[in-house]
C-alpha cells in the first residue's frame, strides 16, 4: 500500500488554538479519505509557535537550529501540506509568513496544499483567496479549490451532531486526497542539519 506524507502547519498562538483545532479536523478528514482510497497516510503536525525563536534566529544568523532544520526537511519530504493560520490585520500571521520565508521556495514546487484560516469574524474569510492562495500559487503548489475558514460560530454543534464546519472540511479533504492520489512530484531531500551561530562560534573558539 502506498503512503502519502502530510505535514500540517498550525500557526495558532493559544493553547489550545482554533487554528490547531481546524488543522486537526482537516488532517483527520484527509486521512480518512486517503485510507478509503487505499493509501496509508502519515501526518506530522507542526506548531509554529514552538519554533518562533528559532525562526527569528534563522533570519539573523542564516542558520537553522536542529529542530527547525528537521521541520524544514519534513516539509520538503512531504507529499502534501495542510496550512492553517489565524488572521492578523486582514492577512496571515507574521509567524506563519516568517516560517514560509525560511523555506527553500523550490521545496514546495508541485506539492498538494490545503489552506485553512481562523478569525474572530466572517469578514476575514477572504484572506484565503486574497492572501494565502496567491502566496502558495507563487510557490507553484497545487492548491485545493476549496479552502476552509472557521469563525466563532463554526465551533458549535448542529442538530445532526456535526458542526457547521463539517461539510466544508469534508469537501476540502476530498479535493486534497484526490490531489495526493495523483502522481506525486519527487520528494525533496531533507537539507543537512546546520549548526547554530553559537555552536559555530564555540567551534572557532575551541580551535576546531
Specify the pLDDT at position 123. Answer: 78
Q: Where are the beta strands (DSSP E) in 54-159?
A: 80-88, 91-92, 112-118, 142-143, 148-150
User: How many domains is the chain built from?
Assistant: 1
* Boundaries of domain holding 107: 3-205
Specify the pLDDT at position 198. Answer: 60
pLDDT digits (tens, 9 = 90+) for 85-106: 999 988 999 999 999 999 998 9
What is the pTM assigned to this prediction?
A: 0.86
Determine the Cα–Cα distance for residues 76 and 70; give it in Å rounded to an integer. Answer: 10
Specify the pLDDT at position 97. Answer: 97
pLDDT digits (tens, 9 = 90+) for 62-81: 999 999 999 999 999 999 99
Contacts of 74 (CB under 8 A, 6+ apart): 7, 44, 46, 190
Q: Are strands 112-118 and 148-150 parallel, antiparallel or unpaired?
A: parallel
CATH code, domain carrying 122: 3.40.50.360
Specify the pLDDT at position 78. Answer: 97
DSSP 127: H
**Residue segments in the chain with a per-residue pLDDT below the cut of 50:** 193
Amino acid at each position: 500500500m502506498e503512503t502519502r506524507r502530510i505535514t500540517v502547519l498550525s500557526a495558532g498562538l493559544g493553547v489550545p488554538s482554533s487554528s490547531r483545532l481546524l488543522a486537526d479536523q482537516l488532517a483527520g478528514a484527509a486521512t480518512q479519505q486517503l485510507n478509503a482510497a487505499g493509501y496509508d497516510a502519515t501526518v506530522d503536525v507542526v506548531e509554529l509557535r514552538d519554533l518562533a525563536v528559532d525562526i527569528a534566529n534563522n533570519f539573523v544568523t542564516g542558520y537553522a537550529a536542529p529542530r527547525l532544520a528537521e521541520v524544514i526537511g519534513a516539509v520538503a519530504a512531504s507529499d502534501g501540506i495542510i496550512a492553517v493560520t489565524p488572521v492578523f490585520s486582514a492577512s496571515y500571521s507574521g509567524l506563519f509568513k516568517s516560517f514560509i520565508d525560511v523555506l527553500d521556495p523550490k521545496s514546495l514546487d508541485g506539492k498538494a496544499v490545503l489552506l485553512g484560516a481562523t478569525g474572530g469574524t466572517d469578514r476575514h474569510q477572504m484572506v484565503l483567496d486574497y492572501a494565502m492562495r496567491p502566496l502558495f500559487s507563487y510557490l507553484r503548489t497545487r492548491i485545493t479549490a476549496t479552502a476552509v475558514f472557521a469563525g466563532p460560530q463554526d465551533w458549535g454543534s448542529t442538530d445532526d451532531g456535526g458542526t457547521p464546519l463539517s461539510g466544508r472540511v469534508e469537501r476540502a479533504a476530498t479535493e486534497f486526497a484526490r490531489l495526493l492520489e495523483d502522481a506525486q512530484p519527487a520528494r525533496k531531500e531533507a537539507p543537512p542539519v546546520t549548526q547554530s551561530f553559537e555552536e559555530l562560534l564555540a567551534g572557532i573558539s575551541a580551535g576546531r
